[in-house]
Structures are given as C-alpha cells and as structure tokens.
Amino acid sequence: MLLVRGGTVVTADCTRRADVLCDDSGRIAAVGPALEAPTGCAVVDAGGLLVMPGGIDPHTHMEMPFMGSVASDDFQTGTEAGVAGGTTTIIDFVIPERGGALLAAWKDWRAKAEKAVADYSFHVAVTHWDEQVHADMGTLARECGVNSFKHFMAYKGALMVDDGVLLRSIGRALELGALCNVHAENGDAVAFLQQDLLRRGLAGPASHPLSRPPTVEGEAAQRVIAIAGLLGAPVYIVHVSTEEAASAIAAARARGQRVYGEVLAQHLVIDDSVYADPDWLGAARHVMSPPFRPRHHQKALWAGLASGQLQTTATDHCCFCAGQKAQGRDDFTKIPNGTPGIEDRMSVLWHHGVRTGRLTPQEFVAVTSANTAKIFNIHPRKGAIMEGADADLVLWDAEASRTVSAATHHQNVDYNLYEGMTLTGLARHTISAGRLVWSDGDLRTVRGAGRYVERPCFGPDMAAQARRNEMLGGAGVDGPAP
Ligand code: URP
Ligand code: ZN
Ligand code: ZN
Ligand code: ZN
C-alpha cells in the first residue's frame, strides 16, 4: 500500500487538502484528511505539492509504421517518457494496412503494447470499407473494449478514406455506441497542392505548411461535422490547429451537435516560423500534420480550451529521428510526418496555461485527464481521485522549473520540440496503479506493468445521443422538432 500524505488534491471538480491511500490492487482505497498509514504502508510526502489525476494522452503513436518508417519510441520507452512527465495513460491507435483486417491489427497492437510500463488503450482506424470491417467493428466494440474508431481524411493513397467510407463507418459506430475520431484535412487538396509545389521546384520542408493551409483543415472539419450531423452521430476531431476548425466545432455545438475537439500542446506554443529554419533538419523535424500555424491560431486554441469548446489536450506523439526525417531530403512529401512531446505536455499546459491565467488548476485537470476520461468512457476509473478509482496520480510541483532538452529527456528520439524552453511546473512523483514509477527524477518503471484498458460502448454521451435520435426518428440534429 502507498499513502500520499499532506498534499492538496486537485481534480476537475474541487481542490482540498487530503491524503490519498492506494491499495495493492492498484486502486484508491481512501481520500480524506489525516488518513492513518496501515502497518507496512509506504508513505510519500506530498507536502507543498498538488495531487492530481495522472495525465491521459488520448493521441499517441508508439512504434507506428508510417511513411516507410517506424516511429522510434516504442510502448516501453514512450510510456516511460509519459510517466516522467506525469502522464499515466495513453490511448494509442491501431492502424490496419490498407485493406487489412481490423481485428488482426488490434491483436498485433496488443502484442506490441505488452511492454508498456503504464496503462494504455486503443482507438482502431478504419482505412477502407467492406463487410469484414463492418463485422470487425462489432467484435471490437462488443468484445474487445474498443469504443472509438479513427478516420483519416488526409494521406491520400495510404490511410485516407472518402466521404462514402466516413458515412458507413460513422453510421456503424453509432449503432455500436462508439465514438468516431477524425483527422480533418482535405487529402485531395493536400495532394494537389503538394504536386503543384514540387512541379515548381519547391521541394524543401518550407513547402509542407503551404501544402496544408488552414482552409484544408477548416473545410474537412466542416465536412465531417456535416456528415456526422446527417447521421445524428457525435464526432471527435483530433489535433485541431486552426481558428477555422475551432470555429466550426463551436458553431456545431451551438446548434446542439455533440462535437468534441482535441488540441496538441505543441500547436499551442510553437508557430510556423519553424519552417523558415535555414537548417534542413531543423525545419524537417517540425514536419507534422496539421503543420504549425501562424500565431493568431494559438489564441483561438487557448480560447477554445478555456471556454470548453475544445475539451482535450494530446501530443500526437510520433517520433522520427534525423535519419528517418532524411528520407525526404529531396522531396518534402516523403518526410515522415510526426513530432514528439508526451513527456512535456503537462508542463507546457501548466506553464503556458495555468501560470498565465488562461486556465485554472482545475481546468488544467479537465483538459489533461478528466475530459478525455469522460469522452472515452473511462471516468471515474481514470481522470478522478476517489475511492475505487485507479491509483494513477501525479504529485505536481507547481513552483519548480526545468529546462527542456533532448539530452535529458526520456523520449527515444534525438530532438525535443521545446529544446531550451524553461518550464515551471513539473511531475515530482508519478504513481501508476498504486506504484511509485517516477520519483524526484528517478524512473522506477517495470517493463510490462502497464495494463490494457477496456472502454465500454454507450457511454453517457453516446447513450443520450441514441435516445435523442430515437425521439427524432433517426435523423439526428436535422430531424423534425421533438
Ligand atoms: O504528423 C502526424 N500527425 N503524424 C502522425 C499521424 C497523424 O496524422 O496523426
Ligand atoms: Zn492525424
Ligand atoms: Zn486564419
Ligand atoms: Zn496522430
């Protein structure tokens, strides 16, 4: 057993002085003032620290095969980096090859993830449509603890699906009580703009953002919101990076549609000036999709988080080292897309969010764990501090600072997006399933200790939507008035 003594417990709902007792099954046994330490119980001194739910990163890609490479952080190193930064759960993505079976891919990813040191779950991507996909979605939802399916509207010729697939898949997920996630970028427009830039001899990484301007994202966000609206289905848009997409989400929510938006920590603080780096590698290291944006978009993203129109923060953690990025030396469209960040998300959000007054500490908990747990139906097991919840905690030092560097980080990648940035607010101790896995800079993880987290379908939002659709005769928000 482990007793966290003398801290200030902060959840999305309240802040209070309390101790937290974790039992040997990895759950919270008690929360309250001045708890007794049972005999033999280890005690962690949380004096002067905030005790918050461990972070949940709803968007990571550990050891993902992508664009001719495999992401360099695997499930062990990636989850180790996570706990060093206060994140105790990830939701990664099962991505079947084009035409490949979903269930077989889910089994492959389960095997890869067995080395994880902290808990993990999976969204499963739908990358084509046929009867087998329809059947596998049912099996995954009913028997495998998968309550979310992912769709890429970009990456033409690889992962991209068209509107026909989106309609079928979102419709199928709705009947299963599962939520659809969407990477919203118009893949045809991207491919067209990429070819145009290459034809004009503009083959460097500076062309990457030019091939994916804000309209490309805004159009796709509006389109998938319209498609989901036609079906009466909730939809979750990953890595919202523009004011255009954020506005589309806010407008849909104002019409009564259940639309959720996720923001990446890096999009909140890094802008598109990174692509002007005269050093090829310096710019290529920032090639991810959607790209970094002109500064005014950051304001919209922060406002979205503060207002609740955007609900979650993630990293899209997808690491490629210099040799891998170099695949695109002569052609920016061949640079593997992706950036690291799981280790620094919580600190970036605290330093730039809470310390600047954009977010309260409770809102910080909401956007780093609780909202994700609610949307993906694992609340209050995750994202909460209460009796019976998983004992996943971060003991946060709100005043301590560190300077970020690839030389000291735990991510298995040769650069850090935030290199040289001094951040105040860090994970002093991290507890995963009742075990101290990070303590004062010391990693104490156990390979394979992470557990697969099953997420049941028909969470509160999906169940409410099903009732709503029944009342409206199955026509969603465009149906007749009740
Ligand atoms: O550039 C990115 N984001 N790479 C990972 C795949 C994706 O689009 O999420
Ligand atoms: Zn994406
Ligand atoms: Zn704009
Ligand atoms: Zn991603």
pLDDT tens digits for range 59-79: 999 999 999 999 999 999 999
Answer yes or no: is the C-beta of 154 below 6 A from any ligand 1 atom: no
Cβ atoms of 120 and 79 within 8 Å: the answer is yes
Average pLDDT over residues 182-209: 98
- Domains, the chain, ranges and CATH? 53-382+455-472 (3.20.20.140)
Collapsing DSSP to helix, strand or coil, 314 comes out as strand
Q: Pocket of ligand 1, candidates 183, 241, 318: which has the most ligand atoms within 8 Å of its Cβ, to mutate?
A: 318
Give tens-digit pLDDT for 261-311: 999 999 999 999 999 999 999 999 999 999 999 999 999 999 999 999 999
Collapsing DSSP to helix, strand or coil, 478 comes out as helix
Cα separation, 52 vs 363, in Å, equals 12
Angle at Cα 190 formed by Cα 184 and Cα 191, nearest 5°? Answer: 130
Give tens-digit pLDDT for 419-438: 999 999 999 999 999 999 99
Cα separation, 267 vs 212, in Å, equals 15
Cα separation, 448 vs 432, in Å, equals 12
> What's the pLDDT at 197?
98
Q: Which of 117, 107, 55, 58 lies closest to 317 in space, CA to CA? A: 58
Helix (H) or strand (E) holding 265: helix 265-269
This complex has an ipTM of: 0.94
Q: pLDDT class for 473, splitting at 50, 70, 90? A: confident
> What's the pLDDT at 41?
97
pTM above 0.95, yes or no: yes
For a pLDDT cut of 70, what percent of the chain falls above it? 98
Collapsing DSSP to helix, strand or coil, 249 comes out as helix
CA of 101 to the centre of ligand 4 (A): 20
> What's the pLDDT at 257?
96
Q: pLDDT class for 97, splitting at 50, 70, 90? A: confident
Cα separation, 282 vs 272, in Å, equals 12
Average pLDDT over residues 196-221: 98
Give tens-digit pLDDT for 120-167: 999 999 999 999 999 999 999 999 999 999 999 999 999 999 999 999
**Residue 178 confidence (pLDDT) above 60:** yes
Dihedral of alpha carbons 263, 268, 272, 276, sign:
negative
Cβ atoms of 316 and 339 within 8 Å: the answer is yes
Q: Parallel, antiparallel, or unpaired: how do β-strands 393-403 and 50-53 relate?
A: antiparallel
Answer yes or no: is the C-beta of 337 below 6 A from any ligand 1 atom: yes
Q: Which residues surround ligand 4, an ion (CB under 5 A)?
A: 316
Cα separation, 72 vs 339, in Å, equals 11
Spatial neighbors of 402 by CB under 8 A, at least 6 apart, are 347, 422, 423, 426
Cβ atoms of 264 and 248 within 8 Å: the answer is no
Of all protein residues, the one whose alpha carbon is nearest to atom 7 of ligand 1 is 289
